[in-house]
Amino acid sequence: MTREAIDPTARIGPDVELGTGVAVGPFCRFEGRVRVGAGCRFGTGVVVGTEPMDRRYRGEDTGVQIGPGCVFHEYATVHRPVGEGAVTSIGDGCRVMAYVHVAHNCRVGSGCTLTNGVQLAGYVEVGDGANLGGLVGVHQHCRVGRLAMVGACSYVSKDIPPFFIAAGNPCRVRGVNRVGLERAGLGGSLPALRQAYRAIYRCGLNLKQAVERIEREMVPAAETGRRELVELLGFIGGSQRGLELRAGAPGAKQEE
């Protein structure tokens, strides 16, 4: 890329590779093995690739990978991971707003929105198209599924399933992310996912029973949404931290 796209106050380390058309604003810092895709933009004071805040880090060779077309607003930070050869990754076309922190060993998918002040602890995974509202905090090792939405000022301490909305402190799953699904062209999957939501959160079943009902009754019967139901089941089956099973809010009407 041309040096004219890099503000003279920015610091770019020798192992940093910036794609074509990348713009780096004032007082940014890129350190270590960082790879940035084409067309990304970095606002004032963004820091990428600096040492992780983890006592186990011993200077091993790790890196940061950022896909093309991402926008980073003021003072966002992305740390390199722990573990030889590991990568902290952010996918294509993400918007990372002011004061967001993406900690070591995180994996953020493509098309995600991390709103002002979002804080991702180590080893967090965020699925494609997920939207995290302002000041959301996510506990280490938690996952937020594809096209999920987490409301502002929420604290996420368990896995948030794909396609659902969650909010609160502690976080609670509120319903299906209708707007997000429609914007992604998956509005036809809404009926199937609403049934799955009711099975998990509204029918008094334990999680094992709910999963069995979805597998036995809903997946075979779904004319549209079968792929999303299978993805939901796979997400649940792969949970290490545990699925967020709190629903709604005391006295509040749940979305469906």
Q: Which two tokens stand for residue 57?
A: 């880090």
pLDDT of residue 251: 47
Residues 188-198 have pLDDT tens digits of: 999 999 999 99
Q: Are 59 and 53 contacting, i.e. CB atoms less than 8 angstroms apart? A: no
**What is the band of 256 on the pLDDT scale with cuts at 50, 70, 90?**
very low
pLDDT of residue 3: 57
d(CA 76, CA 66): 13
How confident is the prediction for the chain on average, in pLDDT? 95
pTM summary value: 0.95
pLDDT of residue 174: 97
d(CA 229, CA 13): 45
pLDDT of residue 136: 98
Listed by start position, the domains of the chain span 3-123, 183-237
Whether 29 shows a pLDDT value over 70: the answer reads: yes
What's the CATH architecture for 183-237? Up-down Bundle (1.20)
What's the CATH architecture for 3-123? 3 Solenoid (2.160)
Residue 251 buriedness (CB in 10 A; 0-12 / 13-18 / 19+): exposed
**Distances in Å between the alpha carbon of 231 and those of 122, 196, 205, 227?**
24, 12, 20, 6
What's the length of the chain?
Answer: 256
